[in-house]
């Protein structure tokens, strides 16, 4: 895998790893993934196929269920990365600090940060998390990370289309540092250099495509829920995983050995690699 020109060496862990978007982005910046966790068997297969060789140290540190891992089993690392699920937080709580996150997957992130004290974290979630539970879920996340764990906290809604990919895909990115004196800035958006016509190989009816999703595939071009069908040279074309990989910014040699249905589901759950890399580059420059 190509390294970026920064040549900065650091270590990171990849939680709720999916098919490895964080792994690819941070590896290209000079990072070494020393631990990863993903519970879905199909996603694990794709991750291993593309990112873990038989001789890799990560082989023994690619766990399935993060809730069953003792933090002492995790190697020391510099950056925690996680595209964590937005499980419902207790509507009755929100004032108990660290203890209120027990029983939900965010707690595992908190526990690891608390015990391992990494230099930084980089979290990703759907943009709706800002408004979830009338804003109390996000308030809880920020408060636990800052007040309980003592880290700084920066956040922004970042679109894939801001960093070279012709799909909207707005996502909430959250970054924080153990050294609260560090001043982080999110990167400025870049001009779009390719559009859906480039992705689909013909004149497309949209310049920027729909956000890749998990459900509702094949609803049809006239359906308001449509996200995977376009008009290309006046013909109806449905996205395949090949175009999906391009829309998420995965390398050309990335491959799927799962069904097309599983491949599209995995892409819908994935992160946009160039957007992650752009933000991570600013993060890594501070540690």
The CATH code of the domain at 10-191+267-284 is 3.40.50.150
Is 86 an annotated catalytic residue? yes
DSSP conformation letters of 211-254? PP-SS-TT--TTSTT--SEEEETTEEEE--HHHHHHHTT--TT-
Per-residue pLDDT of the chain (287 residues; tens, 9 = 90+): 333 445 679 999 999 999 999 999 999 999 999 999 999 999 999 999 999 988 888 989 999 999 999 999 999 999 999 998 766 654 444 455 545 555 588 889 999 999 999 999 999 998 888 888 788 889 989 999 999 999 999 999 999 999 999 999 999 999 999 999 999 999 999 999 899 999 999 999 999 999 999 888 888 899 989 999 999 999 999 999 999 999 999 999 999 999 999 999 999 999 999 999 999 999 999 99
Supply 257's token pair: 């050995």
For helices 273-284 and 21-28, the axis angle rounded to 10 degrees is 50
Domain regions of the chain by residue span: 10-191+267-284, 196-252
Distance CA 216, CA 201 (A): 24
Distance CA 174, CA 142 (A): 9
Q: How far apart are the first and last CA of the chain?
A: 22
Continuous segment of H or E residues that includes residue 154: strand 154-159
DSSP state of 204: B
Looking at the whole model, is its pTM more than 0.85? yes
* Four-CA torsion 47, 50, 56, 57, nearest 10 degrees: -20
Quick one: which of 174, 170, 178 has its CA closest to 124?
Answer: 174
Active-site annotation holder among 33, 81, 86, 204: 86
Distance CA 124, CA 127 (A): 9
């Amino acid at each position: 895998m190509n390294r970026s020109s920064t040549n900065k060496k650091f270590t990171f862990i990849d939680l709720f790893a999916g098919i490895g978007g964080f792994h690819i982005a941070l590896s290209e910046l000079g990072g070494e993934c020393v631990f990863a966790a993903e519970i879905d068997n199909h996603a694990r297969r794709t991750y291993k196929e593309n990112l873990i060789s038989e001789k890799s140290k990560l082989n023994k540190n690619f766990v399935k269920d993060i809730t069953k891992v003792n933090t002492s089993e995790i190697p020391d690392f510099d950056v925690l990365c996680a595209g964590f699920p937005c499980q419902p937080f207790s509507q009755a709580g929100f004032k108990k600090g660290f203890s209120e996150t027990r029983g939900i997957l965010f707690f595992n992130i908190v526990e690891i940060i608390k015990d391992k004290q990494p230099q930084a974290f980089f979290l990703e979630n759907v943009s709706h998390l800002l408004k979830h539970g009338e804003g109390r879920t996000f308030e809880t996340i920020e408060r636990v990370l800052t007040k309980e764990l003592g880290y700084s906290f920066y956040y922004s809604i970042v679109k894939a289309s801001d960093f070279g990919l012709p799909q909207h895909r707005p996502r909430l990115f959250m970054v924080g540092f153990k050294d609260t004196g560090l001043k982080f800035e999110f990167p400025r958006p870049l001009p779009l250099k390719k559009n859906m016509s480039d992705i689909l190989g013909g004149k497309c009816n949209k310049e920027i495509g729909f956000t890749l999703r998990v459900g509702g595939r094949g609803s049809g071009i006239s359906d308001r829920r449509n996200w995977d069908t376009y008009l290309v040279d006046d013909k109806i074309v449905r996205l395949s995983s090949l175009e999906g990989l391009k829309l998420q910014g995965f390398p050309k040699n990335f491959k799927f050995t799962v069904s097309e249905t599983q491949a599209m589901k995995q892409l819908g759950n994935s992160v946009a690699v160039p957007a992650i890399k752009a933000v991570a580059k600013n993060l890594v420059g501070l540690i």
